[in-house]
Structure 1
Amino acid sequence: MIEGLGRYGVSLAVGDDLEAHADVVERLGYSAIWVAGGQLQTLEPLLRILRATTRVAVVPGIIPLDVHRPAAIAELYAEAERIAPGRLVVGLGNQAGGMAALRSALDELDPAVPRERRLLAALGPRKLDLARDRSGGAVTLLVNPAYTTWARERLGGGATLVADQLVVLDEDADAARAAAREPLRFLTTVPGYAAAFSRMGFADAEIRDLSDGLVDAAVAWGGVDRVVARLREQEAAGADHVVIAPLGGPGEQKTLERLAAPLMS
């Protein structure tokens, strides 16, 4: 089980204003800041956030192991413990090499990055089992609450389950779905995500064509009340921590500001 994540985290874009945005997020009351792995050409943004904040957990979601080797991740964790003890949680995943490569990387990280301070990206049963056995928990993405319930059951009660939830704060269905489809056009071509959509009951044609039903399952969109209801559904389904990843709508910071009041109450 991962300690210190709290209930709601947010995903931030890396840019020159990263520190300023991180400070705003912390003041809004969110408990964790996440950075998507595709933005981590270096690991320095994670240290930038730690230096700019005093309370929030900082989590890469995820560090791709085919880009950053275990030795570099161990160095990152050691530096984070020096400047902000107990606030970095190491999210891990791999895009190449399969399960054997992932197990080997975990072996290399022991004991430099303790099991209880790391999470694995996991959607399928084998990776959820590995997350349970070799880390403090699992991170899912693009799943509906029913899938979260299944993942919770597979993971068991002793590990942390994180649901990374894409969000579009826009009540116009056409505009919201259009914003949602932008990242989904690529993500649905990734085998792991396509397999998860199949487990959710979507046919190959629905996945290929990005049907309205698939978009609605993967992305929370609508007004504040509707989006907050979806986030709380993920909690009720078994997620210990929910990450809000804004897309489209009024923009990253405005979305987080508008969602903060009802979520923190």
Structure 2
Amino acid sequence: MAIEQLGRFGVWRDYTGFAPEQARELEELGYGTLWLGASPPAELSEVETLLDATESITVATSIVNIWSAPAKQVAESFHRIEARFPGRFLLGLGAGHPEQAGNYSKPYDALVDYLDELDEAGVPKQQRALAALGPRVLKLAADRTAGALPYLVTLAHTASARQVLGADALLATEHKVVLDTDPVRARATARPRVEFYLDLQNYVANLRRLGFGDEDLAKPGSDRLYDALVAHGAADSIADQLGAHLRAGADHVVVQVLDADSQQTLRALAPELAALS
């Protein structure tokens, strides 16, 4: 899949969170990709529903969990979707979190084995991408897939990930958003959706690599942490914060809105983001 097919900005929601009419509106607003989060099952029926409801937007998973979705079934779903909607689906996959997986032994080896199975089943390298935070999995993403899908990261991570990935691999960076010019209120809005990750060791370890300490990572998290992970302010300010990831080396920014009415926020952001595309 060509990086250009994703567009510069996409939208992340739980895989059950996109109604077909919302998907159509997001396509009309200029967003390039719908990202289906929270471990969609191997059948990937939601992907097909959204592709059927739209005309050209890409649909991607962020992510299919390798522990819960068998590679053989995922490959069958991929080929079914590709036959109906050629070139419009990107298979994002990853190892998830040890706290939520019954068997989390040797996740790197499990990723390699899963990619081997996808190879055998004919799922093309350029139509799959890998959730990646640390250097080892970023390198695997560059070697074995189209590229990397970092989640809950800062601008500094984007710059360092680009160095690891090299110039040609996809870097699609997720970033959270609250449309509110009051920083205290914006952080309060974000808190229930962010502090959950402070109990997950993969994310905490990565945030420590990025320079956050105990005072930042103790729940509910410091103001410094929220300001690095959540873009907030007026629409033009948020757009500039998201655009900073592009300037740091990302090809695509995955926008996750934490406001109660995410569709309205995305409407407000659309013209500002279009000016950056």
TM bucket (normalised to shorter chain) is over 0.9
Partner of 2:244: 233
Letter matched to residue 181 of structure 1? R
1:255 paired with 2:265, answer yes
SS at match of 1:141: coil
SS at match of 2:173: strand
1:159 paired with 2:160, answer no
Gap change, CA 1:32 and 1:17, over 3 Å in 2:
closer
* CA deviation after TM superposition for structure 1 residue 37, in Å: 2.6
Is the 1:136–1:160 Cα contact (8 Å) retained in structure 2?
A: yes
Is the 1:163–1:243 Cα contact (8 Å) retained in structure 2?
A: yes
Q: Which moved more, 1:105-114 or 1:38-47?
A: 38-47
Q: Which residues of 2 match residues 1-265 of structure 1 at below 5 A?
A: 2-3=2-3, 4-15=5-16, 18-38=19-39, 40=41, 43-95=44-96, 96-97=104-105, 98-111=107-120, 112-209=122-219, 210-248=221-259, 251-265=261-275
What is the TM-score with the length of structure 1 in the denominator? 0.95
Q: Distance in 2 between matches of 1:227 and 1:26?
A: 20
Letter matched to residue 111 of structure 2? L
Is the 1:2–1:159 Cα contact (8 Å) retained in structure 2?
A: no
* CA deviation after TM superposition for structure 1 residue 222, in Å: 1.2
* CA deviation after TM superposition for structure 1 residue 36, in Å: 0.7
Is the 1:235–1:242 Cα contact (8 Å) retained in structure 2?
A: yes
Cα RMSD between the aligned structures? 1.7
Q: Which moved more, 1:140-149 or 1:115-124?
A: 140-149
The gaps in structure 2 that reach 5 residues or longer are 97-103
SS at match of 2:211: coil
Is the 2:34–2:58 Cα contact (8 Å) retained in structure 1?
A: yes
Q: Distance in 1 between matches of 2:36 and 2:124?
A: 20
Q: Distance in 2 between matches of 1:2 and 1:19?
A: 25
* CA deviation after TM superposition for structure 1 residue 15, in Å: 4.5
Letter matched to residue 207 of structure 1? L
* CA deviation after TM superposition for structure 1 residue 172, in Å: 1.7
Gap change, CA 1:169 and 1:40, over 3 Å in 2:
farther
* CA deviation after TM superposition for structure 1 residue 174, in Å: 1.9
Letter matched to residue 53 of structure 1? T
Gap change, CA 1:150 and 1:246, over 3 Å in 2:
same
Equivalenced residue count is: 264
What is the TM-score with the length of structure 2 in the denominator? 0.91
SS at match of 2:255: strand
